[in-house]
Structure 1
Amino acid sequence: MEESDVYTEDGTVDIHKNPANKKTTGNWKACRFILVNVCCERFAYYGMSKNLVDYLKSRLNQGNATAANNVTNWFGTCYITPLIGAFLADAYLGRYWTIATFVFIYVFGMTLLTLSASVPGLKPGNCNSDTCHPSSDQTAVFFVALYMIALGIGGIEPCVSSFGADQFDENDEAEKLKKSSFFNWFYFSANVGAFVAAIVISWIQMNIGWGWGFGVPTVAMVIAVMFFFSGSRYYRLRRPQGNPLTRIFQVIVAALRKMSVEVPEDESQLFEIADDASNITGSRKLEHTDNLK
């Protein structure tokens, strides 16, 4: 068999850093673990965050405006931290190892959050039927847990969908078609997890207690981690490509210097080198397109 029939042509490697074998890695055999991971992680995220304002009001004795502001700040942090995860994945760690590192921060934060709502001494004390009066230490533990979760999310959110896409070789027409189907299943899995969490966890928090209300999402996150690592031998890994900021500035400088250069008719002359492969480790040369015109 030709090498192109055995190994991927997009530069991906397996968990042992060997060229990725098409038969034993990637495709749906790898993606099933990623989809379960996504479903459970979204269940955990939406389960613990759905009623945070109510928790801050009833257990941390915060006013409605203060509670809403704190939750908004936390949500904002969850959208900022992916910039950190994306940079680390592209420049240094790669998507697999970035996810593998940050999921432990995520799980630790979820565990600490559950303990802060259920363990005597950590959970808010001096409670009556409507509200509690926590100490400053109890409040601090809660917010440390909350922002550890935000940091954990920062390493997962920018990487997991792209990591799923890495399981399909763009140079293989059959696998290229499957990639579109993967994204359909990816968002379906994420929405299923969010939908179930909105129904089940909200009921648990309101009717059973906050310890269970945070504990069940924590268990879901542990399951997500277990499934993610269970598929390690099937994954295709794209190697980190160096600092992306350097390349961005290189593109800007090159574009400014070559504004008046006439585009050649021969598309092969548009590439930076004559070789088939890109000179960026773990990357490939892009095909020429007129679509951006």
Structure 2
Amino acid sequence: WGRYLTCTIFQVIFVIGVGLLSFVSWFFLIKPRGCGDGDLICDPASPLGVGIFYLSVYLVAFGYGGHQPTLATFGADQLDDDANSKAAFFSYFYFALNVGALFSNTILVYFEDKGLWTEGFLVSLGSAIVALAAFLAPTKQYRYVKPCGNPLPRVAQVFVATARKWSVVRPGNPQELYEVEGPESAI
């Protein structure tokens, strides 16, 4: 499966979700039939429109939740094992995330305040498509680290160890705790 395929699949799911959100807001939710002159009570949104809306929101959440954490580790795979270059990568990566958050909290709020919800969704869709294209463009130059083993047993191992050590009393002296220092440290 690998990180590249995970990022690609979940980014595509994210783009589909934002595209559906733009579609459903334009055709079903923003201007329901029977309103606009101030005299008529608006008809409620159609069940189909509401269903597509919720589907699109779930797709956006699923896609974002799948590609966002994997993207950082995939980016780190592209670098040598130099600690400085990886630290710089994560600094730039999180800087870019914060610039994106700044963009979404300023530009998109402007659209929302003006009542241009669909246009805001379309700007988000355009950004998502550009990001997907920028990710896919250098596909041949990427380093691909093969996944090693199934992560589920390691996760289960943590829960089993936690359950077994639930009532263990922590030593009063921190020097008595077992800590691995250096590159072998898991922390």
Instruction: Normalising by structure 2, report the TM-score.
Output: 0.76
Distance 1:131 1:200 in 2: 29
Residue equivalent to 1:218: 125
- Change in Cα spacing, 1:249 to 1:147, as seen in structure 2 (3 Å) is closer
Count of aligned residue pairs for this structure pair: 163
Q: Which residue of 2 aligns with 1:162?
A: 73
Map residues 1-293 of structure 1 onto 2, 5 A cutoff. 93-119=1-27, 121=28, 125-126=32-33, 127-128=35-36, 133-170=44-81, 175-207=82-114, 209-248=116-155, 288=184
| 8 Å CA contact retained: 1:111, 1:218 | yes
Are the equivalent residues in 2 in contact too, given 1:168–1:176 (CA < 8 A)? no
* C-alpha contact 2:72 2:93 (8 A) present in aligned 1: yes
* Coordinate RMSD, CA, aligned: 2.7
Give the 3 Å change call, closer, same or farther, for CA 242–203 of structure 1 in structure 2. same
Say which structure, 1 or 2, has more relative contact order (CA 8 Å, 6+ apart): 1
Partner of 1:69: none
Change over 3 Å in CA distance of 1:179–1:132 after alignment to 2: farther
CA shift in 2, pair 1:246/1:207, >3 Å: same
What SS does the aligned partner of 2:111 have?
helix
Once the two structures are superposed, residues 197-234 of structure 1 have per-residue CA deviations (whole angstroms, 9 ceiling, x without a partner) of 11111111221511101111000000000000012122
The change in CA–CA distance for 1:199 and 1:122 in structure 2 (over 3 A counts) is: closer
Higher helix share: 2
Runs of 5+ in structure 1 lacking a partner? 1-92, 257-285
After TM superposition, the score normalised by the length of structure 1 is: 0.50
Q: Distance in 1 between matches of 2:135 and 2:127?
A: 12
In structure 2, distance between residues paired with 1:193 and 1:131 = 36
Of residues 231-240 and 185-194 in structure 1, the stretch that sits farther from structure 2 once superposed is 231-240
**Cα deviation per residue 1:35-79 (whole Å; 9 max; x = unaligned)?**
xxxxxxxxxxxxxxxxxxxxxxxxxxxxxxxxxxxxxxxxxxxxx
Structure 1 residues 233 and 139, CA, compared in 2 at 3 Å: closer, same or farther? same
The secondary structure found in structure 1 opposite 2:98 is helix
Q: Which sections of structure 2, spanning at least 5 residues, go unmatched?
A: 165-181
Distance 1:131 1:161 in 2: 45
CA distance 1:227–1:131, shift in 2 (3 Å): farther
Sequence identity percentage: 32
* CA distance in structure 2 between the aligned counterparts of 1:178 and 1:211, rounded to whole angstroms: 40
Q: Which residue of 2 aligns with 1:62?
A: none
